[in-house]
Amino acid sequence: MAELESKSRRDFLSFAGKAGLSTLVAQAVGINLGVVDIVRAQTGKRGVDPFRFAIISDSHLYSIDNHKFDEQLITAVAQVNAMNPKPDFVVYGGDVAQNGTEDQLVKGKKILDSLSVPLKIIPGEHDWYLDMGGAWRGLFGEETWSFDHKGVHFIGMNSILVEDFWTGAGLSPKERMTVMEMLESPIPGPWGVHDKQLQWLADDIKGLAPDTPIVVFTHSPLWDYYPRWNFQTSDAPEIREILSKFENVMSYHGHVHQTLYNRIGNMSSVAAMSTSWPWPYPPVALAYPETQMNRADPSIATDGQGTQLIDLSADFEGLVQYKPFEDSLTPFMKEGFKV
């Protein structure tokens, strides 16, 4: 059994390592044999000063005092604060709140303020549709951003924008929010980043060289996983096209409340666990089923939840480690995997 698992792991790593064309051979060799990445060492263009960052996502806080989800987000913050060495910063993957109310967002902000490292954050649909991001922006700032850190270009975008279904129907903000709160809601349809952010993205990366390390954050995955539950971003193909000139792009997202990996072209995609509840794997086959976590035990309230830690190397290789609250990971996932 152990042999099978480690074989599966090797196969996965060699597969996952097939990144940008120019780095294909170097990466595969580097992963499998642990040798120095000669191609990158020679060019030295990427120049990442190695560091780590953490991801917390999907706390879905309710307005009720002392709700168990408050405690679970506090646990996530404590887990990140205890990481050694410390991550340089934390990215929050969206859905601080459950019903988008200001009190829920304020409660989340207060808990996240106890992080001992800086926070970057993008919104989820649960944060947004009561006041169309009003309270969220007031607390957390712009939802579309980019910054450079130790040689890596980080991008965050709001991927939960849907077409207006409420104005014509005369829905109240609360009714609109209620529609959006339901994962399998039949009404809103697929969401995305929409044209304005696509244009922003194209402008943002215009001057960057193809070997620039790119990390992009969105609430939803940048590939068609299970559109029924908005496990998708409708304009992900356009986003991938805009980013296609780069050798290696890492995408990290929330929303799916589970461990998950995928790769399309030059983009790897890694999901965050939630701190609230795990979501089931939908009825579709995964390209990398090794990255599924165990079925959460409903009798353990914090099973299937946790945080994420990503170590970026000098040649822009990411070691992804899920840090579950409970023992939720398969043997394959326990050691982390490289993207």
Binding site for another protein (CB under 8 A): 62, 64, 67-68, 98, 162-163, 165, 169, 171, 179, 182-184, 186-189, 228-229, 277-284, 294-295, 297-299, 301
Q: How far is the CB of 257 from another protein (least distance, A)?
A: 9
Nearer to another protein, 210 or 227 (CB): 227
Q: Tell me whether strands 318-324 and 337-338 are parallel, antiparallel or unpaired.
A: antiparallel
Nearer to another protein, 304 or 318 (CB): 304
Sign of the alpha-carbon torsion through 82, 83, 85, 89: negative
Q: How far is the CB of 22 from another protein (least distance, A)?
A: 39
Q: How far is the CB of 64 from another protein (least distance, A)?
A: 6
Q: How far is the CB of 220 from another protein (least distance, A)?
A: 14
Nearer to another protein, 3 or 184 (CB): 184
Cβ atoms within 10 A of the Cβ of 85, count?
A: 8
- Look-up of token digits 């890694």: 270
Q: How far is the CB of 299 from another protein (least distance, A)?
A: 5
Nearer to another protein, 98 or 158 (CB): 98
From 297, 242, 296, select the one nearest 265 (Cα to Cα). Answer: 242
Query: CA torsion angle for 123, 243, 86, 159 (degrees, to 10)?
Result: 10
Nearer to another protein, 200 or 229 (CB): 229
Q: How far is the CB of 172 from another protein (least distance, A)?
A: 13
From 254, 156, 153, 241, select the one nearest 197 (Cα to Cα). Answer: 156
> What would the two tokens of residue 131 be?
């006041």
DSSP 8-state assignment for residue 264: E
CA dist 327 to 2, 59, 294, Å? 18, 19, 9
Cis status, amide bond into 85, omega within 30 of 0: yes
Nearer to another protein, 137 or 228 (CB): 228
Q: Which long-range contacts (CB under 8 A, 24 or more apart) does 19-22 make?
A: 19/247, 19/248, 19/263, 19/266, 19/268, 20/246, 20/247, 20/248, 20/266, 22/247
CA dist 20 to 136, 202, 232, Å? 36, 20, 23
Nearer to another protein, 48 or 286 (CB): 286
